[in-house]
């Protein structure tokens, strides 16, 4: 009887610890990423020079996914990003920009994400798009103007269709809307800070 009570007590303690950790990380995710001291915002509608590395075929819009393999939020985002590529890949040029201090090969990133896309390691692209956390999306129209920069979703697991900001931005741009109006929750960065994941 004593042994059974001890096992039950241990299991309750274990599950309480797991639930506490889950709650803590969920709470951390809901805190905005601190804005860096020397941050230079990039206003929506600005022309962004992505350099020679990102060339859109056939003048398609460009969707840049800023990704850090060590960021839990980036890992939770993989399935959602893959669904965007599957849905909009014919009309939009998707690119992954890896934001990590560790060294990865493009093939390793493609395997991790389950997509066959161009993978770049140029961190200056984040500065040019006004990005300072991961995961973040930057969507540029056919004239290299910033249509959207911000979060993929308000939900950590990208499961809330009402706040699927990146998806709504893609649909808005492809339906020739001037600009979809998003609130602060869409464009204030949440997730892991750059260049080292701290959240």
Q: Where does the pLDDT of residue 125 fall: very low under 50, low under 70, confident under 90, or very high at 90 and above? A: very high
Backbone phi, psi, residue 101, to 5°: -80, -20
pLDDT tens-place string over residues 89-120: 999 999 999 999 899 999 999 999 999 999 99
- Rounded to the nearest integer, the mean pLDDT of the chain is 85
CB of 157 closer than 8 Å to CB of 50: no
Tokens of 36: 């860096």
Asked whether residue 199 carries a pLDDT value surpassing 50, the answer given is no
Check: CB of residue 183 under 8 Å from CB of residue 151. Answer: no
pLDDT for 35-72, tens place per residue?
Answer: 888 888 999 999 999 988 888 878 899 999 999 999 88
Q: Which two tokens stand for residue 171?
A: 């649909």
In contact, 165 and 181? CB cutoff 8 Å: no
- DSSP H or E stretch at residue 137: strand 136-140
CA dist list (Å): 64 to 2, 9, 31, 139, 144 = 58, 49, 23, 6, 12
Residue 131 pLDDT grade (very low, low, confident, very high; cuts 50, 70, 90) = very high
Task: From 156, 120, 113, select the one nearest 138 (Cα to Cα).
Answer: 120
Cis? peptide before 199, omega within 30° of 0? no
């Amino acid at each position: 009887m004593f042994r059974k009570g001890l096992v039950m007590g241990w299991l309750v303690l274990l599950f309480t610890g797991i639930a506490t950790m889950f709650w803590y990380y969920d709470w951390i995710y809901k805190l905005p990423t601190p804005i860096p001291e020397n941050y230079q915002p990039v206003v929506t509608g600005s022309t962004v020079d992505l350099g020679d590395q990102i060339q859109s075929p056939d003048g398609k819009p460009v969707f840049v996914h800023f990704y850090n393999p060590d960021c839990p939020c980036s890992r939770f985002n993989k399935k959602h990003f893959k669904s965007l590529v599957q849905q909009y890949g014919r009309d939009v040029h998707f690119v992954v920009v890896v934001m990590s201090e560790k060294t990865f090969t493009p093939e390793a990133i493609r395997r991790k994400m389950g997509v066959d896309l161009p993978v770049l390691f140029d961190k200056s692209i984040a500065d040019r798009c006004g990005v300072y956390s991961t995961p973040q999306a930057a969507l540029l129209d056919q004239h290299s103007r910033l249509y959207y920069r911000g979060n993929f979703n308000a939900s950590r697991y990208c499961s809330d269709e009402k706040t699927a900001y990146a998806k709504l931005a893609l649909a808005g741009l492809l339906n020739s809307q001037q600009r979809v109006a998003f609130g602060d929750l869409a464009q204030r960065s949440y997730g892991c800070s750059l260049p080292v994941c701290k959240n």
